[in-house]
Amino acid sequence: MTSTLSAATSDREAYRATLLELARADQRIWCLDSDTGGLEKVFESELPGQYVDLGIAEANLMSVGAALASTGLLPFVNTMAAFASARALEQVKIDIAYHALPVRIVATHSGFSAAHLGPTHHAQQDLAIMRSLPNMTVMTPADAGETVRMVRAAAYLPGPVYIRIGRNAVENVYDEDADFTVGRAVELRSGDDVTIVAAGSYPVVFALEAAERLAAQGIEATVLNMHTIKPLDMPALIKAAGTTRGIVTVEDHSLLGGLGGAIAEAISVHRPTRVLRVGVADAFCARPGTHREQLVAGGVSPEHVIAAARAIVTR
Amino acid sequence: MTVQAEAVTADLFRLERVALAVRENVLAIGAGPIGTHVGGSLSATDILVALYFDVLRVRPDEPRWDDRDHFILSKGHASAALYATLAERGFISRDELVTYGRATGRLMAHPTLSVPGVEFATGALGHGLSLGVGLALAAQRALRPNRVFVVLGDGELQEGSVWEAAMSAAHLGVGNLTAIVDRNRLQINGSTEDRMALEPLTDKWRAFGWDVSTVDGHDFAELVPALRDAPGGGRPSVIIADTVKGRGVRHLEHRKQGHFAKLSPEAYERALAALRAVA
Ligand SMILES: Cc1ncc(C[n+]2csc(CCOP(=O)(O)OP(=O)(O)O)c2C)c(N)n1
Ligand SMILES: [Mg+2]
């Protein structure tokens, strides 16, 4: 199925198709909606018995999802990342995470992908928030194909899962079907000088572009797609710390507490290594613009990755 | 016709003309690089025009004037209608509207503090009424004249926080607070009554301790007096404005597909023609 995804397929569309495919095969898989637009067409129309629209009420959505999960169902709850991680946070923390219930939160419009919709719809804190919740698995795919693999893998994980996806299609990172294991990073390129660890669609694309341009400058980078932010792939990070001169992290998330924060926390304990973080500066976005324009303005671009990698190698 | 009645008719005619200009600009914004929430902007247009051109005591050249009435667009996705109204009223220039969504400008798809006349960034539904309670309470305790008007979407009323605000407003007796519900009967997934029913809506507000009235949200002869008369007394007021999503553009009216639209040049021309045909 992955090979049929065109470059124009968004993670959202890939997710919806996969959810429907999973739900057709397993009646325990439900779709909980919150007026997100589209699921009523692709899901409710075919499987109304496994669909509930809770309206524009994200806090209620999370608690209802928790209770459904407690009865043996496997609900996928749908809202934007901003609302999942902030507005409905206490419900996520207590009703879902504390009870370790198998609710799958699929959060769209992550990072700056809501772009011109502005800071009310941006989600630059959700990785920091969600990974601080005990029991929560936190993942973000690099492209539509990986979204499919991730959603399939998430469906049967034991506890709660947070999957962070974007709004529109970015670029395909994978040509064809690849292996996917929760908690195991994917090495997209190998090099001896520096390791670039990225998570999410633009960050992985930027990491690969930066690696290519660094190679032209004689710097060889390993690129890891760290699609699972929690639990982190420690063996891969320890290996990176041992075989290259440092780690650059790249994310469409605040510099505080996301992928870079997680890696810095872990590596400082297990194998102290230089870690330079490329992420969004600690400020609300001040201007409209496209997803990419806002990332660049916030401090996330191939150029920022290159500068960080050079700083590690030339030190 | 009496002299007084003629004056009233002339005034309503003036409001109609402003509303047409606002709707034209909503469509122009919808034809811009990122599109806009066309349906909910067109349903709220007459409410905004009545407020800004007849009811609100505001100074475009002094947006933070101490004695101003406060306005909060809780359904912040109708930013196009708000910006177009603020432009007609002189808070921003009409020329600025074309910068909507562009990185060179400041007009985001939800209102932000960088726009003169905007007091709170809205867009995450369910915040505006609580902000309104706070502003109303501050004015009430300080014995200040400020009145507070908040426009809410009907789908927005599904957020529990709206009812926390409603309960507190009645309990605190903020009679200087008026909520206006843009009752267009649609949300993104379809009809409010099919998706998450709101009715009996007037009973709900009454049970929460509010003064409730219902008006035709596209008839200035009903809207204006209701908005003028609402504030005051010991209780907050809510005006349920019966509206039409996409109002003014026949082929977008009552259609959930018009919630958000990026109009192609042809779609823009067609929408503009439809709008002018009924104006
Ligand atoms: C807290 C929150 N949840 C979801 C959304 C996404 N959203 C934007 S508009 C909208 C529908 C709003 O419906 P309604 O309030 O009836 O507005 P209108 O019909 O006037 O456009 C939704 C769900 C949001 N902006 N905020
Ligand atoms: Mg509505």
> Which residue CA neighbors atom 20 of ligand 1 most closely?
B40
Domain that holds residue B41: 3-278
pLDDT at B6: 76
Select from A161, A219, A225 the least CA-distant residue to A191: A219
pLDDT at A7: 67
Residue A157 or A8, more confident: A157
Determine the Cα angle at A58 with ends A284 and B80, to 5°.
55
Joined together, the tokens standing for residue A176 give: 């064809």
**B90 CB burial (10 A radius; 0-12, 13-18, 19+):** middle
Residues of A in contact with B107 (CB under 8 A): 288
Q: Which parts of chain B register pLDDT below 50?
A: none
- In chain A, the N- to C-terminal Cα span, in Å, equals 45
pLDDT at A170: 86
Instruction: Round to whole Å and give the CA distance between B87 and A57.
Output: 33
Select from B29, B38, B4, B27 the least CA-distant residue to B102: B29
Joined together, the tokens standing for residue A20 give: 């429907």
pLDDT at A65: 98
- Over residues A187-214, the pLDDT tens digits come to 999 999 999 999 999 999 999 999 999 9
Count structural domains, chain B. 1
ipTM above 0.90, yes or no: yes
Instruction: Round to whole Å and give the CA distance between B18 and B146.
Output: 25
CB-nearest partner of B109 from A54, A117, A293: A117
The answer, yes or no, to whether residue A2 has pLDDT greater than 50, is no
- Over residues B107-119, the pLDDT tens digits come to 999 999 999 999 9
Select from B121, B117, B79, B116 the least CA-distant residue to B101: B79
Q: Which strands make up the sheet holding B148-153, listed edge to edge? A: B70-73, B148-153, B177-183, B237-242, B211-216
Catalytic site includes residue A58: yes
Indicate the pTM of the whole model: 0.96
- CATH number for the domain spanning B116: value is 3.40.50.970
Select from A153, A154, A173 the least CA-distant residue to A162: A154
Instruction: Round to whole Å and give the CA distance between B210 and A263.
Output: 53
Instruction: Round to whole Å and give the CA distance between A291 and A315.
Output: 32
pLDDT at B7: 74
CB-nearest partner of A56 from B34, B103, B156: B156
The β-bridge partners of A264 are none
pLDDT at B120: 98
Contact status, residue B258 vs residue B38, Cβ threshold 8 Å: yes
Structural domains for chain A = 2-164 (3.40.50.970), 186-313 (3.40.50.920)
On average, the pLDDT of chain A sits at 96
The answer, yes or no, to whether residue A253 has pLDDT greater than 90, is yes
CB-nearest partner of A35 from B109, B124, B155: B155
Select from A54, A98, A44 the least CA-distant residue to A78: A54
CB contact under 8 Å between A119 and B112, yes or no, is: yes
Contact status, residue A220 vs residue A210, Cβ threshold 8 Å: no
Contact status, residue B255 vs residue B245, Cβ threshold 8 Å: yes
From start to end of chain B, where are the E strands?
70-73, 148-153, 177-183, 186-187, 190-191, 211-216, 237-242
Contact status, residue A81 vs residue A200, Cβ threshold 8 Å: no
- In chain B, the N- to C-terminal Cα span, in Å, equals 23
Instruction: Round to whole Å and give the CA distance between B130 and B156.
Output: 13
Please tell me the distance in Å from B236's CA to the nearest CA on chain A: 24
Candidate from A32, A35, A120 with most ligand 1 atoms within 8 A of CB, to mutate:
A35
B36, B186, B188, B193: best to mutate for the A interface, most A CBs within 10 A: B188
The answer, yes or no, to whether residue A84 has pLDDT greater than 90, is yes
pLDDT at A94: 98
Instruction: Round to whole Å and give the CA distance between A207 and A204.
Output: 5
Instruction: Round to whole Å and give the CA distance between A161 and A137.
Output: 5
Closest ligand 1 atom to Cα of B159? 1
